[in-house]
Amino acid sequence: MPAEPVTPEAAPAPVQALIVVDMQSAFVAGDGAVPDARRLLDRVRALMARARDSGALVVQLQNDGEPGAPDEPGTPGWRIHLPADADRAETVMRKTADDGFEETGLEELLREAGVTDLAVCGVMSEMCVSATARTALELGFRVVLPHDAHATYDIPAAEGISDVVPAAVVSRVAEWALGDEVEIVARARDVGFTKP
């Protein structure tokens, strides 16, 4: 059964880590940015600040796109848009698949830090955010997904199949498809953090 959003009166228990998925310049700045990228950046920036202030683990995932892709390594679009805090030795973990756990050290990093509960934010809702959240659930982590801190693009119209599917609908469907184990929070500001 798909999860219903958590209401402010029933805010989730704090999490010990924030996984920031693919917040790279190609996707959140300039002409190629997801719709309402400024709102997304504000929410993710605030989540990162609160996680840092509480001593929670902050991990940024960085996708290595194929040659010619907007996120091809070394290109301006590949760069992380919200820099990691070097003073806190924050981890930026590169990946080549949608799933942030696939062929990376993410699980090991979380386990070694003692993380059992985490929040996921970033782009794209139905791809890398969803794949990473789903694997986290399968690995036994508690996962909180703030509704206003993940985003994607509109799905273009396809003749004989559908009209344009707005990005907000795609994001909501991605949440719904994660089932009833994920904790969906309406507002990122309601996500609390604690040390692992």
**Residues designated catalytic:** 128
Q: Between the CA atoms of 169, 179, 161 and 22, what dihedral angle is there, to the nearest 10 degrees?
A: 60
Residue-by-residue DSSP string for 132-188: HHHHHHHTT-EEEEEGGGEE-PPBPPBTTTBS-B-HHHHHHHHHHHT-SSSEEES-G
Do residues 183 and 5 make contact, with C-beta atoms less than 8 angstroms apart?
A: no
Residue 59: closest CA among 111, 146, 120, 6: 120
Nearby residues of 24 by Cβ (< 8 Å), 6 or more positions away: 62, 63, 71, 77, 78, 79, 80, 81
Q: 13: which 2 tokens?
A: 């228990």
Do residues 17 and 196 make contact, with C-beta atoms less than 8 angstroms apart?
A: yes
Neighbours of 83 (CB within 10 A): 11
